[in-house]
Chain A
Amino acid sequence: METAYAQALWKMVEGGMTPAKAVHALRDTLKAHGREQLMPRIARAFARIAQREAKRTDVVLTVAREKDERRAHKEIKDALSRMGVETKALKTQVDDTLIGGWRLEGKETLVDASYKNQLIELYNRVTA
């Protein structure tokens, strides 16, 4: 139940209501239903939603080697604009298993231009 209240609170704030006003409205509702004791649990559920949403909006660029980053930044411009993300908001990490190329993941979107992915696709097509 606390998750449902937390989701409602999240949606109210997302919908443009000020946080203070939304919390007041929630408290009044809980009071009217005799459910004020739920407040701490709602706060924890709200924190979980916030954490999940933060993860959702995170956009991560993964490159095979550090020196590939500059080239990758050039190549991902289009993809970033489609995702509505600015270069500054990017998090970058290195994963040498990619072999080469890059991989951009975030906002429910994955653009995989790594050599590893292309080799796997080639393998799957040839062996199919």
Chain B
Amino acid sequence: MDSATVEKIIKEIGNIAPAHEGEHVGRVVAVGDGVVAIDGLSKAVMSEVLLFEEGKGKKLKGTMSAGGEAQGELFGLILNLEEDGVRATILGDTARVSEGMTVKSTGRILSVPASAEMLGRVVNALGEHIDGKGPFKKTTLMPIERQAAGVIDRKSVTVPLATGTKAIDAMIPIGRGQRELIIGDRGTGKTTVAIDAIINQKYEPEATRPICIYVAIGQKESKTARIAQQLREQGAMDYTIIVDAPASAPAALQYLAPFSGVAIGEYFMDKGRDVLIIYDDLSKQATAYRQLSLLLRRPPGREAYPGDVFYLHSRLLERACRLSEEKGGGSITALPIIETQEGDVSGYIPTNVISITDGQMFLVTDLFNKGIKPAIDVGISVSRVGSAAQTKAMKSVAGGIKLELAQFRELEAFMQFASDLDKATADRIESGRRMVEVLKQKNGAPIPLERQVAALYAAGHAFFLDVPVNKVTEVEGQLMEFLDGQYSKTLAAIKKTGQLSEDAKKELNKAMEEFRLAHAELFSVGK
């Protein structure tokens, strides 16, 4: 034992005074399925943390190995205040609780530790490290439940949050402080879109780069490990925190994980930083909450969800906002994910979250199966506040894309029945096909703003019209390489100013012409 530890022990022994202060306690009368009924605790308050006394009747050594040393203290969270006692959920292993056990009131509302040390780390729903990299040295406790910022404390969403996905940044732009739902069936690329948004933040200057928080709720641990690995490989883990409540975790932790994530986010927001938080996914959180509520004997409502399931999500998502300059100017941008069944968006939870958020992007199985990735159905996807935050450069090139794609989809359907098409219609269809190709993107490869602008500018100026449809992605890649090499200053100017000036447009036109001349063999259609 080193001398510092000895000193610490001696100091602590000196501090010991026989405790004659009474503690407020109750007694476990029933336990099962992660929920415990406690007799007593008449002065307890809602959402108060309880401490289960595991050591009663056990030898000192046994107490330490059962509690402190091996698994930590066992806590509970009050969720029901009843006439003759309380009902609480166990934030840990239910097997450690037995009938007759004494439960101590702690007098504090559930909080999670938060600090900059958490960046690059994986924590559980209680903010404890689970990546084996050791505990955090200095943390601030942030309450899990906190009133969202009021109207006066907020500011309009005006700063863009680039996701690196062309289809989103062009047509469904997201602003810092916005809540944009990602919704779709399983296996349509919802998580990929969200993870790409995290990866894309590496292109942001460090001073304005958002802190990213990925909250995994009810996911397979292998999936979360794979995501952590991907983020690490891409260098995105340095500014990311993963809050993990896997499928194997108790329902209580799955219910709490999003709140823990946003509490950690608020720590950074209060310091004036921007935060991007992804809840993957809230359907699973709602399911965990339903399980808890039924065990707590709360009356079931539609689809057996409790009556306050809307409030569960609204109070969570309301905490995403952009604060006024007086409050530091920080923001939390939320990208909640909802999984639908067979494309049914009229379910209880999907409609709730659609109505709460500031827009939604629908990912569709049909598009995914056709190889259109990201499989975003732009016709029914919207961003209600993001357009105010879109950069001028993007606005100038993305203006007509949504309409063009909508017309293309309509004509494409019509084309199946018509054999002869007039030239204008045929051109529109050809242009639409190429636009769809331009909007395709590889998984895990977000594109910086200036390159997106250049690609969409080229597409909007009929650059790809002479390129065979199956070669569009390849030609686009080559054009980008050419621009990177020969016109890096133009791209840098777009990135710096966020605008597509007349000079920049001239430069891009010139670049496109030079590229066309140098690679005439790629533009073979119609020749």
Contacts and interface: CB of A to CB of B under 8 A. Distances in A.
B153 to A, nearest CB: 35
Nearest to A56: B40
Interface stretch (A20-28, A29-37, A94-102): A94-102
A120 B12 contact: no
22 contacts: A55-B39, A56-B39, A82-B22, A97-B60, A101-B18, A105-B102, A108-B26, A108-B41, A109-B23, A110-B22, A110-B23, A111-B20, A111-B21, A111-B22, A113-B20, A117-B19, A118-B19, A120-B63, A120-B68, A121-B16, A123-B64, A126-B5
Contacts of A119: 60
A108 B27 CA distance: 9
A123 B72 CA distance: 12
Contacts of B83: 7
A52 B82 CA distance: 15
Contacts of A52: 29, 39, 84
Contacts of A111: 19-23
B16 A118 contact: yes
B253 to A, nearest CB: 22
A105 B5 contact: no
* Chain A interface, >50% SS class: helix
Contacts of B84: 7, 49, 52
Interface string B1-40: 0000100110011001011111111110100000000011
B18 A113 contact: yes
Interface in B25-59: 25-27, 29, 39-43, 55, 57-59
Interface residues of B, number: 36
A116 interface: yes
B126 to A, nearest CB: 15
Contacts of B64: 120, 123
A125 B11 CA distance: 11
A64 to B, nearest CB: 11
A56 to B, nearest CB: 6
B395 interface: no
A65 B234 CA distance: 63
Contact of A120 (B9, B26, B60): B60
B440 interface: no
Interface in B41-96: 41-43, 55, 57-60, 63-64, 68-69, 73, 83-84
A113 B16 CA distance: 11
Give the residue among B9, B20, B40, B57 with the most A Cβ atoms within 10 A.
Answer: B20
B16 A122 contact: yes
Contact of A108 (B20, B24, B68): B24
A118 B60 CA distance: 11
Interface of B: 5, 8-9, 12-13, 16, 18-27, 29, 39-43, 55, 57-60, 63-64, 68-69, 73, 83-84, 102, 104
A99 B39 contact: no
Nearest to B27: A55
A52 B5 CA distance: 46
A108 B19 contact: no
A18 interface: no
Contacts of A126: 5, 8-9, 12
A118 B16 CA distance: 7
Contact of A109 (B22, B58, B69): B22
Ranked nearest first, the 9 interchain pairs of A and B with the lowest CB-CB distance are A109-B22, A110-B25, A108-B40, A110-B23, A113-B18, A111-B22, A122-B12, A97-B59, A125-B12
Interface residues of A, number: 33
Interface in A74-128: 75, 78-79, 82-83, 95, 97, 99, 101, 105, 108-113, 116-127
A127 B68 contact: yes
A74 to B, nearest CB: 12
B23 A122 contact: no
A117 B210 CA distance: 45
Nearest to A106: B25
Nearest to B5: A126
B135 to A, nearest CB: 9
A75 B68 contact: no
A92 B23 CA distance: 19
A37 B405 CA distance: 72
Contacts of B23: 109-112
B19 A112 contact: yes
A124 B63 CA distance: 12
Given A7-B84, A97-B57, A122-B16, A83 B22 contact: yes
Contacts of A108: 24-26, 40-43
Nearest to A115: B60
Given A75-B20, A110-B23, 5 more contacts: A83-B22, A111-B19, A112-B23, A123-B68, A127-B68
A68 B55 CA distance: 21
A115 to B, nearest CB: 9
A119 B57 CA distance: 15
A116 B12 contact: no
Contacts of B21: 111
Contacts of A99: 60
B19 A110 contact: no
A85 to B, nearest CB: 12
B9 A122 contact: yes
Contacts of B19: 111-113, 117-118
Nearest to B104: A110
Contacts of A55: 27, 39
Contact of B102 (A83, A110, A118): A110
Contacts of A49: 84
Contact of B22 (A79, A95, A123, A124): A79
B102 to A, nearest CB: 6
Contacts of A78: 20
Contacts of A124: 68, 73
Contact of B57 (A95, A112, A121): A95
